[in-house]
Structure 1
């Protein structure tokens, strides 16, 4: 059922226009996506046994996070870089407060594997599950596009092919995704403000700025599951090129970030404690 039928059922009359305003469509898309994730995680906690909850929660959160970025393309199209950046930061805050500790990026499982915080088999299972969630995010987006809120949703719902987001050379794209993952992973291991909200804002703003700046190069995903959900099999990029840029690139970036953290680590809370001890 598209939105017109729903509107007519509720109000008893047909809407005056075929489509809603783009901002209404984007807010609706994001709210439905967030509520879907919240409801599915709640059901998972109630219904499924504890041993598999962690994996299912990762699937749901990855699917939700990846789905947002289908709509972010339209936010950028209609409202530009500034509102895209603001939307991403808001989405990050929503995710951090509703994901219940679950992961939305396979790079995080790889990072824990490197640090010895997770076993090899568990990390590989998580990465595989999250890769499937990335692909599933397209189906979630399609479900919302079926409401036919704006012409762009209509076109994407009925699309039969897609184009790759890799608009630069293979090596440059590899370096872009690797660098973005390095920056995001390294900053995520730091504590740059004693105010937790400000610390979050700085990290989310960093990711948001990288996405806005690199959107025209690779799509700037630095999330392998998201990249595959959005562009795997699209015209213009061979399968091995996709995995080199969007999977190997971010994983190597994470690996470098772990070693960089050993050389340069910022923890303002620990620094404050150390300074207090020196004064005593």
Structure 2
């Protein structure tokens, strides 16, 4: 594939990030919008940014290889860690907060809904861009039938998504506690590495909103299988990280805290 095709994909990814950042700046102008409503809008913007860029990353991975995809994902996750602030574009972060008593089930449900709306609605923008066929790699992609990324049984896929999400969340919690220099870069590197490790098995989504926005209804697995793998699997892994991170052995391993005798 021509370098110009990669440049067009890169330009679209940058454009999506710029538009999302402009949307956040516009929201900042409206001081009357605050509290939960503001949080919901920011979650929708973050999810739209995540899913629009990841749609284009599918093009990058298919045509320029997983290594190129990994570089782009690594750089994007660093960018998101800088601009999203408290937004997550992922429901299980809020589920963890609920388990730890920092939020309510209602707020979790509303933020998950906002994320899904942002992630799913942005597809029409991506589809229009692909329909323009500015790049050779976009030809025929706007209206083609999609296929699921799950290459193993649903139960194995759920374990992969769950275990990788558990590792991601433990790493993020440890880095947050230790606050080392370049913590966001380390977190991005770990997350990207786990995505690549799972790429040829489950797709390496580790985010129910992302997987649903990109792959819901695609051929290759049923809706129930999709829920088992990408919702139950990843959310279970994230929720398990809460008690796991409190365990003395885990804290000793990740933070170097000595295990105290009872």
SS in structure 1 opposite 2:156?
Answer: helix
Deviations 1:201-231 (A, max 9, x none): 2211111111112112111101000000111
**What aligned pairs does 1:57-206 form with structure 2 within 5 A after superposition?**
57-159=42-144, 161-191=145-175, 195-197=180-182, 199-206=183-190
Match of 2:12 in 1: 29
Q: Does structure 1 residue 43 correspond to structure 2 residue 26?
A: yes
Aligned pair count?
250
**What aligned pairs does 1:203-218 form with structure 2 within 5 A after superposition?**
203-218=187-202
The CA deviation at 1:195 is 3.5
Deviations 1:56-114 (A, max 9, x none): 00011011112221122222233323222211110011112222322221111111111
Contact 2:131-2:141 at 8 Å conserved across structures: no
Match of 1:277 in 2: none
Contact 2:171-2:187 at 8 Å conserved across structures: yes
State the distance in 2 between where 1:178 and 1:40 align. 33
Contact 2:91-2:112 at 8 Å conserved across structures: yes
Contact 2:81-2:184 at 8 Å conserved across structures: no
Contact 1:89-1:205 at 8 Å conserved across structures: yes
The CA deviation at 1:27 is 1.2
TM-score, with structure 2 as normaliser:
0.88
Contact 1:166-1:218 at 8 Å conserved across structures: yes
Moved over 6 A (4+): none
The CA deviation at 1:243 is 0.7
Match of 1:250 in 2: 234
The CA deviation at 1:193 is 5.9
Contact 2:59-2:138 at 8 Å conserved across structures: no
Identify unmatched segments of 5+ residues in structure 1: 1-18, 275-280
The CA deviation at 1:53 is 0.9
SS in structure 2 opposite 1:123?
Answer: helix
- Mean Cα deviation higher: 209-218 or 168-177: 209-218
Residues 210 and 144 from structure 1, CA distance in 2 versus in 1: closer, same or farther, beyond 3 angstroms? same
237, 244, 252: which is aligned to 2:221?
A: 237
Residues 244 and 194 from structure 1, CA distance in 2 versus in 1: closer, same or farther, beyond 3 angstroms? closer
Structure (1 or 2) with the larger CA radius of gyration? 1
Identify unmatched segments of 5+ residues in structure 2: none
SS in structure 2 opposite 1:116?
Answer: coil
